[in-house]
């Protein structure tokens, strides 16, 4: 993504406070043993973790030398940077840096698993305990860190209680408060914030040549999440799937109960099961919460604040049918639905519970 005005050569949009903090750490040669990168998905947490790791491993990173140019880290030229393919264009957050460098290790919740297992954590700890190949740092990244169960969290805690020299662990999470207090207290917590809509708007136009109308729609739709805006732009199926979820919610009031249930079955599909279905249901609920918020704003005439501006006419149609008290009640039920999903209630039943609320 487009570089902001900071002291590092990283493709990051927004969250300058975090980039500056890490820049100072690199410059002073004083890094923490454990970091927590917390915030909603698609804000750039993975990208920042990636480039922080690349900068720490870069062979030109030597804080003992006054000549080190922090702005040029990672350099993109040394053997390490070439291994990590530093300099490749980034569009959305990804895991393409997994296993590229022998001193960089990453784990995340496996597909269709509820938690990161203790075996995964033990394997990471073992890898970090080995000697560095280039007498450099050993870096471990844990994605979906909120998915650590009690066993895996305790295994990690033992390592955090006895930190080793030149070992850095970065936990990436959407919910820092879901982590054990014992891990939080031993980590440097960095909270990522939504990026200004205008920054995302300008970025889409300058980088992709997007039309102003499309850039405006996607910037507002992303709710301050740059990588999500890019996903909408680059992946037509992803974008259309999102709009389908919006349309289903806006059309519930025109359908009978059986039709609503059929619409939910279509949204969930049959190709995924288990935790993948739960994840999908959570994304659907998040979309519906945004639409409910838009309907409330439309009722108050606050159209400039509406997220789904491209569906303004549909929102106007629905706001005439749903009063403010009904919409507030619906918003509360959506919040409750999200809690039910976290408590492992059947995703289909949770969505059906929302559908019958109209």
Q: What is the pLDDT of residue 97?
A: 53
Minimum mean pLDDT among 186-195, 257-266, 312-321: which range? 312-321
Taking CA atoms, 12 is separated from 21, 147, 231, 248, 270, in Å, by: 14, 26, 16, 34, 37
Place of tokens 């030597």: 62
Q: Could you state, in order of their start, the residue ranges of all structural domains in the chain? A: 16-191, 194-234, 236-356
Give the CA count within 13 Å in the CB-facing half-sphere of 167. Answer: 17
Q: Where are the beta strands (DSSP E) in 59-173?
A: 104-107, 138-142, 167-173
CA separation for the pair 293, 288 (Å, rounded): 9
CA separation for the pair 350, 33 (Å, rounded): 41
Q: What is the pLDDT of residue 2?
A: 43
Q: What is the pLDDT of residue 121?
A: 97
Residue 88 pLDDT class (50, 70, 90 cuts): very low
User: How much is the average pLDDT of 186-197?
Assistant: 97
CA separation for the pair 124, 204 (Å, rounded): 37
User: How much is the average pLDDT of 289-305?
Assistant: 92
Q: What is the pLDDT of residue 271?
A: 77
- Residue 91 predicted with pLDDT over 50: no
- Residue 51 predicted with pLDDT over 80: yes
Architecture of the CATH domain 236-356: Up-down Bundle (1.20)
| Opening angle at CA 348, ends 347 and 354, nearest 5 | 95
- Residue 108 predicted with pLDDT over 50: yes
Which of the given ranges, 83-92, 303-312, 332-341, has the highest pLDDT on average? 332-341
Residue 86 pLDDT class (50, 70, 90 cuts): low
Alpha helices by DSSP H, the chain: 16-28, 45-57, 79-84, 118-129, 150-161, 181-184, 197-208, 212-221, 226-234, 236-251, 257-268, 274-299, 312-319, 324-342, 347-355
User: How much is the average pLDDT of 187-214?
Assistant: 97
- State what percent of residues in the chain have pLDDT above 70: 92
Residue 220 pLDDT class (50, 70, 90 cuts): very high
The domain over range 16-191 is classified in CATH as 3.40.50.300: yes
Please state the φ and ψ torsions of residue 243, each to the nearest 5 degrees.
-65, -30
| Average pLDDT along the chain | 88
Other CB atoms within 10 Å distance of the CB of residue 282: 16
Please state the φ and ψ torsions of residue 62, each to the nearest 5 degrees.
-140, 95
Assess whether the region 16-191 and the region 236-356 belong to the same CATH fold: no
User: How much is the average pLDDT of 190-209?
Assistant: 97
Q: What is the pLDDT of residue 59?
A: 85
Minimum mean pLDDT among 128-132, 162-166, 269-273, 301-305: which range? 269-273
CA separation for the pair 296, 278 (Å, rounded): 27
- Residue 4 predicted with pLDDT over 50: no
Q: What is the pLDDT of residue 94?
A: 53
- Residue 356 predicted with pLDDT over 50: yes
CA nearest 318: which of 338, 342, 297, 337?
297
Tokens representing 177 are 């408060």
* Alpha-carbon dihedral sign for residues 217, 219, 222, 226: positive
Other CB atoms within 10 Å distance of the CB of residue 14: 23
CA separation for the pair 242, 287 (Å, rounded): 8
User: How much is the average pLDDT of 91-104?
Assistant: 61
In sequence order, what are the beta bridge partners of 141? 106, 170
Residue of higher predicted confidence among 296 and 319: 296
Tokens representing 188 are 């440097």
CB-CB contact of 13 with 149 (8 Å): no
- Residue 87 predicted with pLDDT over 60: no
The span from the first CA to the last CA of the chain, in angstroms, equals 41
DSSP 21: H
Determine if the pTM surpasses 0.85.
yes
Q: What is the pLDDT of residue 7?
A: 59
CB-CB contact of 15 with 51 (8 Å): no
Minimum mean pLDDT among 74-78, 165-169, 180-184, 290-294: which range? 74-78
Q: What is the pLDDT of residue 262?
A: 97
User: How much is the average pLDDT of 310-339?
Assistant: 89
CA nearest 221: which of 81, 33, 42?
42
Q: What is the pLDDT of residue 329?
A: 94
């Amino acid at each position: 993504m487009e570089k902001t005005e900071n002291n590092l050569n990283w493709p990051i949009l927004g969250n300058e406070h975090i980039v500056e903090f890490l820049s100072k750490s690199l410059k002073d040669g004083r890094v923490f043993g454990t970091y927590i990168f917390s915030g909603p998905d698609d804000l750039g947490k993975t990208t920042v973790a990636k480039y922080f790791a690349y900068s720490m491993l870069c062979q030109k990173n030597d804080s003992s030398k006054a000549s080190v140019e922090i702005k040029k880290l990672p350099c993109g030229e040394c053997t390490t940077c070439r291994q990590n393919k530093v300099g490749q264009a980034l569009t959305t957050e990804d895991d393409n840096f997994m296993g590229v460098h022998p001193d960089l290790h990453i784990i995340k919740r496996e597909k269709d698993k509820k938690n990161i297992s203790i075996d995964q954590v033990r394997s990471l700890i073992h890898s970090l305990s080995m000697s560095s190949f280039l007498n450099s740092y050993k870096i471990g990244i844990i994605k979906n860190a909120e998915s650590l169960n009690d066993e895996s969290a305790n295994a990690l805690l033992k390592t955090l209680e006895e930190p080793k020299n030149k070992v850095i662990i970065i936990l990436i999470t959407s919910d820092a408060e879901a982590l054990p207090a014992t891990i939080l207290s031993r980590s440097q917590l960095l909270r990522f914030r939504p990026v200004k809509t205008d920054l995302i708007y300008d970025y889409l136009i300058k980088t992709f040549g997007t039309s102003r109308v499309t850039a405006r729609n996607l910037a507002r739709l992303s709710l301050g999440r740059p990588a999500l805006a890019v996903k909408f732009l680059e992946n037509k199926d992803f974008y259309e799937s999102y709009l389908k979820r919006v349309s289903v919610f806006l059309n519930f009031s025109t359908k009978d109960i059986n039709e609503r249930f059929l619409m939910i079955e279509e949204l969930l599909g049959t190709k995924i099961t288990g935790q993948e279905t739960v994840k999908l249901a959570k994304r659907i609920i998040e979309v519906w919460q945004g639409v409910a918020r838009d309907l409330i704003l439309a009722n108050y005439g606050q159209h400039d604040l509406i997220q789904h501006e491209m569906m303004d006419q549909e929102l106007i149609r629905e706001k005439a049918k749903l009063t403010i008290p009904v919409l507030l009640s619906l918003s509360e039920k959506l919040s409750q639905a999200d809690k039910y999903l976290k408590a492992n209630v059947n995703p289909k039943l949770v969505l059906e519970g929302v559908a019958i609320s109209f």
